[in-house]
Amino acid sequence: MEKSLLYPRQTASRRVVSMNGMWKFQFDSESTGIASDWENGLPESVSMPVPSSFCDLFTDKDSREYTGDFWYETDFFVPGEWMGNEVLIRFGSATHKARVFVNGLEVGQHVGGFLPFNVRVTEIVRYNQYNKLTVLMNNELSETMIPCGTTKTLSNGKKMSLPYFDFYNYAGLQRPVSLLMLPKETITDFTVNHTLSGKDAVVDYTVTTNGNHEVSVTAKDESGTVVAEASGTKGSLLIKDARLWNVHQSYLYTFTVRIINGNQIIDEYFDRIGIRTFEIQNGHFLLNGNPVYLKGFGRHEDSDIRGRGLDLPTIKRDYECMKWIGANCFRTSHYPYAEEMYYMADEEGFLVIDEVPAVGMMQSVTNFLAANRGNQIKETFFEKETTPQLLEHHKECIREMISRDKNHASVIAWSLLNEPQTTHETSAPYFEEVFSYAKELDVQKRPCTFAVIMMSTPDTCKCWQFCDFVSLNRYYGWYMLGGYQMSDAEEAFRKEMDAWGRIRGDRPFIFTEYGADTYFSEHKLPSVMWSQEYQDEYLDMNHKVFDSYPWVQGELVWNFADFQTTEGIMRANGNKKGIFTRQRQPKDAAYLFKARWENMPVDYKCGK
């Protein structure tokens, strides 16, 4: 039961109580909390909102940059009528490590900061009373877990995070926490796969339970009419004249799963799921058999004050901005997002490339400059003593991501790494295992990819062949040959693309990153780097290159909005490549994209 990643639903048999709110919070810089019995209560706590990142809520730098152990605490009430059922606590995420205690007893652990987990507390809680929940967390980075980085101890004894990635290491209880009541015999998993037959659809399903009673599955359309029924833990639902889920034209069926004993409902679970197929044929992406060109963004969960904490108004604003500009797709760079983001993508008809937190797999704190260092990196990242441990954690994150997100119509592909080191032959076995594992887990057999860094070129990359489609992160005209060298940048860009064209086979290519840092207030005639005029010129050059190659089938600009990074001389209070500001206001480039994307047919470059 603890491994079930079903989204919390309140039904005839299930109860969900939000535990969000103001919790107690305390740093544990000496890691003495356990020895000091903090699991039974924090001695000198401050208030902390959950969900949120703790970092930007403080005004002193030691607190904002804190690295190490820290604690959360809250009290929660368990109703007496829940006795005889299972009681669990579900964490939407806990970044990056968590040990959970209830009434002073440890009830579970989790490693990985971007995916949910449950802890079972049935025998630990006191019914019809308040109970104490404490969580010991740690946000240190290492090379044995993803995202990768390291932790440094300064001369004053304070720890400092050194990420091998270019975004801020926000931490805390950043997603909702819920108290769940489930029946003893329960539905633990539900999986669907779709095939089309003329105007009809066949939905193959699998239900996993922890018991032996009969299982029924019902599908209803958006009007509430039952359109298909079946029984058994495995089976098929035939939906006549199926309304298919499509880009910006979503249609969601409600699938209800029940464990039944005669007329008694033992457990009930439902989910709203769109029926669609997605595949690659002859170098094109096909949604429901029709070509679709991907246009949109790389993104981050990032906003003022909240950091990476779930914020529903920000999510709503983001979708409105993406609809306004004419986008149809985004990548969850560089980690799986909060589940609420995917459910809204289902409702709004957006395509999502879902990315596991495998970023920083190159030993550099400035990976965005790695392209200019080329083969100066001598040591392969995937030939360390710690690599087996890293691989197991990587695979566990893939399992959790696919288990959580597999039924979303919006999720069309899995991105298994971002900008890893691939120029050594020893990288290939690691990639082969990761890709094989993902394909084995996903019954829908979505295409898999990884984002290829600039130093990994057609003649140096040893791993691109594992991709079903190739995703390039390219910065010609910014990190390479920027400014007045733009003409040389375009020439070098085309030279690389010509080389890919000679070896790609029938794989489509997309760009998962391209962009130029730009100040919202900076205008300059003639243009200079960092001005809005230069961002437009840079984008025009890139789009001219994209349009020259029919096998380029998508463009996801970096980034949707400005976002926070670790401080440094290359970053002025964050990454400024956003097409929107961090406050979600358009830069000049937003109007460039709006004009381009609104006039681009959905089947652009389909070859007809």
Residue 128 DSSP label: T
**Spatial separation of the C-alpha atoms in residues 298 and 331, rounded to whole Å:** 5
Q: In which residue ranges of the chain is pLDDT below 50? A: 1, 365, 367-378, 608
Instruction: Give the start-to-end residue ranges of the domains of the chain.
Output: 15-182, 187-276, 291-598
Q: What is the b/e burial string over 509-523, where b = at least 16 CB atoms within 10 angstroms of the residue's CB?
A: bbbbbbbbbbebebe
Give the amino acid at 257.
Answer: V
Structure tokens at 444: 């829908």
Structure tokens at 494: 């085309």
> DSSP states of 23-35 as a string?
EEEEEETTS-TTT
List, in order, residues 6 or more apart from 265 with CB less than 8 Å away.
12, 13, 258, 259
pLDDT digits (tens, 9 = 90+) for 328-386: 999 999 999 999 999 999 999 999 999 999 999 987 645 444 444 444 444 588 988 99
Q: Which pLDDT score is estimated for 364?
A: 60
Structure tokens at 498: 């010509």
CATH number of 15-182: 2.60.120.260
| Residues classed as catalytic | 419, 513
Structure tokens at 375: 């083969």
pLDDT digits (tens, 9 = 90+) for 110-140: 999 999 999 999 999 999 999 999 999 999 9
Q: Which pLDDT score is estimated for 440?
A: 97
**Spatial separation of the C-alpha atoms in residues 515 and 492, rounded to whole Å:** 16
> DSSP states of 391-449 as a string?
HHHHHHHHHHHHHHHTT-TTEEEEEEEES---SSTTHHHHHHHHHHHHHHH-TT---EE
pTM value is 0.95
**Spatial separation of the C-alpha atoms in residues 113 and 338, rounded to whole Å:** 11
Give domain 187-276's CATH superfamily.
Immunoglobulins (2.60.40.10)
Cross-strand pairs, 269: 257
Q: Give first-to-last CA distance, the chain, whole Å.
A: 50
CATH number of 291-598: 3.20.20.80
